[in-house]
Amino acid sequence: MSARKVKRGAGAKGGDGPAAAAPSTPPVAPPAAPHVAPAAAQGRGGLRRVAITGMGTVNALGRNVPDTLTAMREARCGIGELEFQDVDRLSVRIGAQVRDWDPEAYFNRQQISLYDKFTQFTMIAAKEAVAQSGLSFHGELGLCSGVILGTAGGGLNTWDENYRIVYEEGKNRVHPFVVPKLMNNAAASHVSMEFGLRGPAFTVATACASSNHAMGLAFQMVRSGAARVMLAGGSEAMLCFGGVKAWEGLRVMSRDACRPFSANRNGMVQGEGAGVFVFEDWDHATARGAEIFAEVVGFAMSADAQDIVMPSAIGAERAIAGAMVDAGLNPSDIGYINAHGTGTAANDKTECAAVAHAFGHHADRLMLSSTKSMHGHLIGGTGAVELLACVMALRDGIIAPTIGYEEPDPECALDVVPNVAREARVEAVLSNAFAFGGLNAVIALRRV
């Protein structure tokens, strides 16, 4: 890695120049008592430890984990001009697309007839994760192992293609596998069949929090002893005409770039891809000599119960505080947060307010970045790709940057690791996901 592409920070702060500097005073005075009650979280007594022993991904930055992490270190941008049918009819024509995607390079004809693009991405990521873990799910292990995946749109490409066939081309017949191809649980079902996972297997659909909810539930299953191994993560493939056209209607999309936390930010940019992790019972992993990349130590979720699209700092703060309580961590233990950081005006300032209240004086010493600036917003799959950046921070001591940052925003007065990756040793991290519908999910990891 080139030294010019990574700034060396002192502890959890680091960076230089006005854009990188954390505020000289805390964003808010620390409250005398908790600002809000944390979200309910399961106690830790007598519960099993949970190890991450495998990781896999496909996204605009890379088609595997090493390439993706290298791209994050080098602050590359995977956002570009969209390429698909009727893109000229869209007002938003940029996205973080997996370029030159050819399913025939990975799957046979029968598989392609059954796999929507979101399932294709999932299968490749899952195979990478399982191969890295070294696990085989024959016999008893398959009976106590499962898969939970998040997606918001599921087989949206299949919907889009078949709407064209019926409504535009006027045909009266569609492929007999349309329903099993587009259903949201297709990816989880195919993963369970591929590896012989006969334990819990299902899909979570909670918009932009889908992956974090899926991974959090998988963590709880392993921690409680309900499963020995869980594959967890998420996938999304919304970059088609109908998918982007629907998002255009919300008027939250940028037409030129994703600039989280920058004063001149003007919206989110969609991405596509998948991320899958192997969550394994710690004793099982150590007994077989597995490499452990990080420990999953906490999870909490909350609901704003307020608005279908506008975020709430109070709801987000409850999930952040709850994840720390669940993990047995203090605010001062957290060195880095992978932010939800969509690049919209409302989301970024609300998230910064939530972090400031949850961390008090320590917010001044946190690093917080949005990797959506590089790989785009994968909606239901975004949390899974973003957890890779959290593992990189813990394992490699590299903090992924927020690229596209141009102008400081007084309402986002935190250290957002602008534009250049940073070296820093951190002991524990959080990954935030805050979804439409007021659904919040936060995961805590610890270094091993």
What residue segments make up the domains of the chain, in order of their start?
7-446
Contact criterion met (CB below 8 Å) for 95 and 82: yes
Alpha helices in 273-417 (DSSP H): 282-287, 313-327, 345-359, 372-375, 382-396
**8 falls in which pLDDT band (50, 70, 90)?**
very low
The yes-or-no verdict on residue 29 having pLDDT over 90 is no
Token pair for 433: 């996901």
Q: What percent of the chain has pLDDT over 90?
A: 90
Residue 65: the pLDDT is 99
DSSP 21: P
The yes-or-no verdict on residue 62 having pLDDT over 60 is yes
Largest interatomic CA distance in the chain: 67
The yes-or-no verdict on residue 265 having pLDDT over 80 is yes
3-state secondary structure of 8: strand
Give me the CATH code for the 7-446 domain, please.
Answer: 3.40.47.10
The yes-or-no verdict on residue 93 having pLDDT over 80 is yes
Of 24-28, 249-253, 408-412, the least confident: 24-28
Which of these is catalytic: 77, 362, 377, 390? 377
Residue 39: the pLDDT is 57
- Per residue in 364-401, pLDDT (tens digit) is 999 999 999 999 999 999 999 999 999 999 999 999 99
Residue 34: the pLDDT is 42
Within 10 angstroms of residue 110's Cβ, the number of other Cβ atoms is 9
Which of these is catalytic: 35, 144, 190, 208? 208
- Per residue in 419-441, pLDDT (tens digit) is 999 999 999 999 999 999 999 99
For the chain, give the mean pLDDT.
93
- Per residue in 144-178, pLDDT (tens digit) is 999 999 999 999 999 999 999 999 999 999 999 99
**Backbone φ, ψ for residue 279 (5° rounding):** -100, 120
Of 27-36, 193-202, 298-307, the least confident: 27-36
Residue 44: the pLDDT is 56
Which of these is catalytic: 340, 357, 362, 375? 340
Distance CA 97, CA 104 (A): 18
Residue 38: the pLDDT is 60
User: What is the average per-residue pLDDT within 209-222?
Assistant: 99
Q: Is 377 a catalytic residue?
A: yes
Token pair for 384: 């899974």
The yes-or-no verdict on residue 23 having pLDDT over 70 is no
Residue 122: the pLDDT is 99
Distance CA 380, CA 152 (A): 5
Residue 46: the pLDDT is 82
Distance CA 386, CA 431 (A): 7
User: What is the average per-residue pLDDT within 105-124?
Assistant: 98
**Does the pTM of the predicted model rise above 0.85?**
yes
Token pair for 251: 């008027």
